Amino acid sequence: MKKLDYIIVGQGIAGSLLAYKLLKADKKIIVLNDESLPTSSQVAGGIFNPITGKNLDKTWLADKIFPYLKDFYLSLEKEFNATFYHETNLYRPFANEEQQKHFMRLTDEYDLGNYIKIISANNTEYSAITNTLGGLHTSFAGWVNVPKMIENFRIHFRNREVYQAEKFVHEALEVSENEVIYKDIEAKRIIFCEGYYASQNPFFNWIPFNPAKGETFLADVEGYNIAEIVNQGSWIIPLGNGKCRIGSTYVWDKLDWETTESGRALISSKIDKFLLPSYKITNQEAGIRPTTKDRRPFMGNHPLHNNVYVFNGLGTKGVSLAPFFAEEMLCFLEKNKVLMSESNIKRFYSLYSL
């Protein structure tokens, strides 16, 4: 038997960051990941944005998690000698005069000075989009190339011989008071980081996900030269040389991993309202976000088994939430730190029945 501290199931953003932090804390781990499954992390736009929505809401814990994520990703890039963190900032052109007035009023009313700057109309930097009313520029925003980062984590884990590409079979797990046994592995604890697939996990199929399918596409946009992410109902991420990732849709009632004509048409109809050059779609992708009903992560231990854990529910914001909450999870596991009540799955224990 291999004797370990932790088994981690899943190597999306959640599993990768947590496994990385446990390794840094000198824990003996193994990451089991089914590489044949489509995943949310592989199709994520990777945007992080502290000010979102129709009412310019400051993201939950923005003042804490944004400085944290920046330091985390930059030091990770250094360690892996790779580039995947792009602090491009984000531009929201006003869609109409009503929205312009609304946003200007909110910018005045709220203390968003650190994050938001007003850009005047017809600024030449934005000649590739309709910008007749100006817009809002958000700092501390950008995107992470998530598939590239995950690939770098995989190399890191493989080099340390702590990674196995295999499907975890829940029925084969034996749980006793002091250990868990899976095939030839005996570990003190197991942590499930399975994204949307947690709905098929017999230990955690009772936690209330509100999964949302999303689609994006890649496009070659003629002469596109805007350096920031542009967002007006749909977003455009500049990948360089006129290549852009464009998205995304939200669908709650037909959950599968297939791309659709209707998804593509919906995204196109939104960007056609403000993108001026012609573009050619080169690829389309679909995924299921592990979104939760109360929009907060799922963290903590199973109601009956103190050595069976979950780290999930990163929803639409895996890139901004994962660094901070992987650290929270580490401190909870190794330093007895109490989890924030908003993210602790204790809040749903009443839904669990044997």
Ligand X SMILES: Cc1cc2nc3c(=O)[nH]c(=O)nc-3n(C[C@H](O)[C@H](O)[C@H](O)COP(=O)(O)OP(=O)(O)OC[C@H]3O[C@@H](n4cnc5c(N)ncnc54)[C@H](O)[C@@H]3O)c2cc1C
- List the beta bridge partners of residue 301: 309
- φ, ψ dihedrals at 181, nearest 5°: -125, 130
H helices of the chain, where?
A: 13-24, 40-43, 62-80, 97-109, 146-159, 261-271, 318-335
Report yes or no: 351 and 208 within 8 Å, Cβ to Cβ: yes
Structure tokens at 114: 């650190």
Nearer residue to ligand X within complex by CB, 123 or 260: 260
| Nearest residue (CB) to ligand X, 248 versus 343 | 248
Compute the least distance from the CB of residue 89 to ligand X, in Å: 15
Q: How far is the CB of 63 from ligand X (least distance, A)?
A: 18
Q: Which is nearer to ligand X, 99 or 259 (CB)?
A: 259
The CA distance from 323 to 314, in Å, is: 11
* Residue 1 Cβ vs ligand X, minimum distance, rounded to whole Å: 20
Binding site for ligand X (CB under 6 A): 9-15, 32-34, 37, 39-41, 43-47, 167-168, 193-197, 214-216, 247-248, 287, 289-290, 312, 314-320
Query: Minimum CB separation from ligand X for residue 170, in Å?
Result: 7
- Which residue's beta carbon is nearest to the bound ligand X? 12
> Which residue's CB is nearer to ligand X, number 173 or number 333?
173
- 43/221 with CB nearer ligand X: 43
Least Cβ distance, residue 190 to ligand X (angstroms): 12
**Residue carrying structure tokens 């994050």:** 115
CB closer to ligand X, 45 vs 50: 45
Beta carbon nearer to ligand X, 43 or 244: 43
- Omega cis (within 30) before 269: no
Which residues, including other chains, have CB under 8 Å from residue 287's CB and lie 6 or more apart?
38, 39, 40, 42, 43, 44, 213, 214, 257
Instruction: Please give the span between the terminal C-alpha atoms of the chain, in angstroms, as a whole number.
Output: 30
Least spacing, CB of residue 202 vs ligand X, in Å: 11
Nearer to ligand X, 41 or 145 (CB): 41
Shortest reach from residue 201's CB to ligand X, in Å: 7
Task: Concatenate the DSSP letters of all residues of 115-156 into one string.
Answer: TEEEE-TT-GGGTTB--TT-EEEESS-EEE-HHHHHHHHHHH
Separation of alpha carbons 353 and 199, rounded Å: 15
* CA–CA separation, 116 and 102 (whole Å): 14
**Residue 38 C-beta: closest distance to ligand X, Å:** 8
Cβ at position 122, least distance to ligand X in Å: 29
Tell me how far apart the alpha carbons of residues 296 and 300 are, in angstroms, rounded to a whole number: 13
Supply 203's token pair: 């230990």
- Residue closer to ligand X (CB basis): 62 or 100: 62
309: left (phi over 0), alpha (psi -120 to 50) or beta: beta
Residue 327 makes CB contacts below 8 A (sequence gap 6+) with 21, 68
C-alpha 177/C-alpha 304 separation (Å) is 10
